[in-house]
Amino acid sequence: MKKKNTTTQPITPVISENARKVLQKRYLVRDAAGRITETPEDLFRRVATAIASVNPEEERGALGDIYYEMMATMDFMPNSPTLMNAGRPMGQLSACFVLPVGDSMPEIFEAIKQTALIHQTGGGTGFSFSRLRGKGTIVKSTGGEASGPISFMEVFNTATGAVSQGGKRRGANMGILRVDHPDILDFIECKTDQTKITNFNISVAITDTFMKAVQADGEYDLIAPETGKVVKSLPARMVFDKIAHHAWVNGEPGLFFIDTANRENPTPSRWSYEATNPCGEQVLGPYESCNLGSINLENHVIEKHGTTVTDWEKLGSTVRHAVRFLDNVVDANKFPIEELSKVNRGTRRIGLGIMGFARFLMLLGIPYDSEEGLEMAEKVMAFIREMAEKASLDLAKVHGPYPYYEGIGSPKRNSHLLTIAPTGTISMIADTSSGCEPEFSIIWYKNVMDGTHLPYTLELFEAVAKKEGFWSNGLPYLIVENHGSCRGLAQVPEKWQRVFATAHDIAPEWHVRMQAAFQKHIDAAVSKTINMPNSATVEDVRNAYLLAYSLGCKGITVYRDGSRSNQVLNAGSSDKKESSLPVNPAELHWGQKRPKEEISRGTRVKISGKYGKSYVHLYFDEEKRPMEIFVTPAADHGERESAILFGRLGSLALQYGAPIEEIVEQFIKSHEEAGRLGSDPYAIAKAIGTIISREGLVGDEGLKIEVACPSCGGQVAFIEGCLKCMGSKKTGAPCGWSQC
């Protein structure tokens, strides 16, 4: 619970150390030489002034002050493109877009060009590839055969890899294919190899017809998009099970319940929804986009008569101002494509959501996975909806309803008002929990100067533990051993074990029910990951899908813990050949050396150690098992012989069956025991971790390898449909990197 501002003086933002690092890395303006030229206070003032500038001159000063204070106090935060670009020449303020992909070469490559322009400005893009004819279909104009949607997804993927998103990160895409498309089986399997189509999340557009066939254990039709004719029928449960299996393997594909979404389409005469943004919470028409912003619920509680309660008055005020802020963004936005400008000023869609929900519940003493938790989610979101509707109706009385208004629903200023979006970096800036997700952990590690690692505990948990008398200096270490959770620890009273829930404490059913509770009062959708333990089964995934559909969710993403770093080879394909290794890697022992001809390919990473620059090469076989390590130091490297030796010894250990994670661990231990900052062993270990993360490699014995953040080397987790840096005991706090 943050303190209220009781003065009339301009507020100076209170920025945590972690938030400051995120701001410096991605948001604060730099000059031509790369030097930071603004403070966090300058940033918030720049954004507030730019957004207020679309109002009449006599209102700008007061509104600018209100907008600045909302951001400076962390009560509300707009999305990343708005923070990065408002008041600057680029001026593109939307987070996500959907672009149409037609069934012709000019339409396809026009979409690729538009994608590049959007990614340059910091936006993400979603596509439906359902209009493209199936693989092998005869193309009348040329007499040749169509290559199918997946081949063109690979073209989009390559183009995306060449364009950084707003110059800050790699672009993010969502690829969607209808479940009744002829190529659906290939689409479901297209990301089994995690080195391909890496710049896409994928989801299957699920129809009511398909779900009825699943429930009846019947067949359903595949329909050629170019003719509308039935080309084949498939057993619905077989397809459903295949989707569930692949999601169990690595978290993809997700499901997009396309008919559920279209039942709430306010502009049906203009389009039917076909696609979503990369994280699934925005169902958008062609050329539609959404500017997002999130209210920090942690800041909307108050002490009353010794009890912590929701500050409804403050929350209502924040909602009203946030709606006007986001409506202004529509007018302040500089779109890179004229069609985007036309459509988005036609719908005036905004996406107001929340963050800090997990900590909000903790402050109120409510367990996340409880009926009381679900009731509070519904109560808060119903209140926000009521206040947002009123604010949008009031704006419409002055400025008129959105131009595309068709008489469906009330004549609001905005076609859509509410969503719950991923808040990866903006929740770090606000120093709160992400979106509507539970806390990932209640403890982290922090580096100190002498090279040791000290536990860093969630302040709220520590405060409660001390107040209730169950705190001890050893408690953080017990929590670390308990995978970041206090559940099951005898030292922690049962009430507080329940209140301080982490993502993997919560059963999948409760994750789905929480998503559905929010969805009841949201006109867009909810970005949420249904986290499952590593021991979860394919049946657990199926059940989550069925529950989400029955409860009215518009989409669902599941993630089984460790599945992306513990890839199951040859999954879902009975016709794949078995491994050709002459020796089972799990049975290798010293004296049995792997033959070199098994090496398939390799990749390299440039490193800078204390004695100079080197390249670390990691080669692997066709089953993606690491085989050889080489270190190539620069000519002026101060310890060339040692650097080469590190690689040769690591390579030798791999050839004799040593797991890659144990080799990396030895590099790190040698660095820690020697106490040498910037050492080659540590740099090599980080490089190997980066390659493992980038290539989706597996250990020799199928053991879990901790995926490393490619920016800082920290632990990553799959949250809100995206891989994000969570920090680690080796690197400390999160750095702000995310895949999306």
Q: Kindly state the tokens that stand for 485.
A: 């959770």
Helix or strand or coil: residue 360? Answer: helix
Distance, in Å, from the CA atom of 312 to the CA atom of 314, rounded to the nearest integer, reads: 5
- CA-based torsion, 257, 259, 263, 269: positive or negative: positive
Looking at the DSSP bridge assignments, the partners of residue 309 are 302
Among 291, 527, 558, smallest CA distance to 420 is for 527
Place of tokens 């800036």: 429
Helical H segments across 162-277, by residue range: 184-189, 208-216, 236-250, 258-262
Of the residues 281, 389, 437, 439, only one is catalytic, namely: 281
Catalytic position from the list 279, 290, 553, 740: 279
Beta strands in 80-237 (DSSP E): 96-98, 124-128, 164-165, 169-170, 173-178, 200-206, 219-223, 230-235
Q: What radius of gyration do the chain's Cα atoms show?
A: 26
Helix%, strand%, coil% for the chain, nearest 5: 40, 20, 40
Residues 151 and 378: their CA atoms lie apart, in Å, by 43
Which of the following is catalytic: 199, 201, 277, 333?
Answer: 277
Residues contacting residue 612 through CB under 8 Å, at least 6 positions apart: 633, 634, 636, 637, 638, 639
CB 77 within 8 A of CB 329: no
281 is catalytic: yes
Of 271, 488, 294, 495, whose CA–CA distance to 380 is shortest?
294
Q: Is 722 a catalytic residue?
A: no
Q: Coil, helix or strand for 220?
A: strand
Tokens 């800078």, residue?
A: 608
CA distance 600 to 597: 8
- Within 10 angstroms of residue 310's Cβ, the number of other Cβ atoms is 19
Burial of 17 (0-12, 13-18, 19+ CB in 10 A): exposed
> Is the Cα torsion angle 302, 459, 374, 417 positive or negative in sign?
positive
Q: Is the peptide bond before 585 cis (omega within 30 degrees of 0)?
A: no
Give the count of alpha carbons within 13 A of 549, CB side only: 23
Give exposure, 55-94, as e/b (b: 16+ Cβ within 10 Å): beeeebeebbbbbbbbbbbbbbbbbbbbbbbbbeebbbbb
Please report where in the chains the tokens 């050709």 appear, as a residue: 580
Residue whose structure tokens are 């019947």: 218
Angstrom CA distances, 530 to 251, 435, 555, 678, stand at 10, 13, 11, 39
DSSP 8-state secondary structure symbol assigned to residue 401: S
Phi, psi of 534 (to 5 degrees): -60, -25
Query: What's the rounded Cα separation, in Å, for the pair 46 and 51?
Result: 9
- Tokens 């806390």 belong to residue: 439
Cα 437 → chain centroid: 12
Residue 36: DSSP 8-state: B
Distance CA 294, CA 61 (A): 23
| Residue of 341, 335, 330, 317 whose CA lies nearest to 415 | 330
Residue with tokens 């400390």: 732
Quick check: is 277 catalytic?
A: yes
CB 710 within 8 A of CB 421: no
Q: Are strands 76-78 and 96-98 parallel, antiparallel or unpaired?
A: unpaired
What positions carry a catalytic annotation?
277, 279, 281
